[in-house]
Amino acid sequence: MLPDRPARDTRARASELQQAPRPASTTVATHKVTVHDRQRGVVYEFVVPEDQYILHTAEAQDIRLPFACRHGCCTSCAVRIKSGQIRQPEALGISAELKDQGYALLCVGFPSGDVEVETQDEDEVYWLQFGRYFARGPVERDDYALELAMGDE
């Protein structure tokens, strides 16, 4: 008969795994990220491993940057790249055209090297990305559609 073993706390085990150091053979390069927060008049410099999101890494260092969805969709965390490059394959909120123009989303952005960025003007990227859908003048009233909608209530 086997001796009784104490029950293992799986949460503690998960924590151990998350904090386990990487083997030396999988060392990840780190890069200096500089963010000019134009709204607050502050410049932040911090180091980000190239396999980590810039926004998340900043927050882990008590640096507060703009965000909302954290999933690359809303453009609240958008920045203009002044120098360097950001890899952002999950950035669904901005088009390839805007990426080519130097915009990036920090919530889903990885530094490809040292990078310097500046925060956007309020809703700048949102309007560049979606404004064409709203900038066609006032919406025409559709009495027939309104009548149908009222009939459903």
Q: Are strands 115-119 and 30-37 parallel, antiparallel or unpaired?
A: parallel
CA dihedral over 89, 93, 99, 102, signed as positive or negative:
negative
Amino acid at 136: R
In the complex, minimum distance from the CB of residue 22 to ligand FES, in angstroms, rounded to a whole number: 26
Closer residue to ligand FES (CB): 31 or 76: 76
Look-up of token digits 């999988």: 26
Q: How remote is the C-alpha of 67 from its chain's centroid?
A: 7
Residue 73 in the binding site for ligand FES (CB under 6 A): yes
Query: Which member of 33, 65, 75, 103 binds ligand FES (CB under 6 A)?
Result: 75
Closer residue to ligand FES (CB): 107 or 128: 107
Closer residue to ligand FES (CB): 15 or 39: 39
Residue 93 in the binding site for ligand FES (CB under 6 A): yes
**What is the SS3 assignment for 37?**
strand
CA dihedral over 55, 61, 65, 71, signed as positive or negative:
positive
Residue 70 in the binding site for ligand FES (CB under 6 A): yes
Closer residue to ligand FES (CB): 59 or 114: 59
Amino acid at 78: A
Query: Which member of 72, 80, 104, 119 binds ligand FES (CB under 6 A)?
Result: 72
Interface residues with ligand FES (CB under 6 A) are 67-70, 72-77, 93, 105, 107
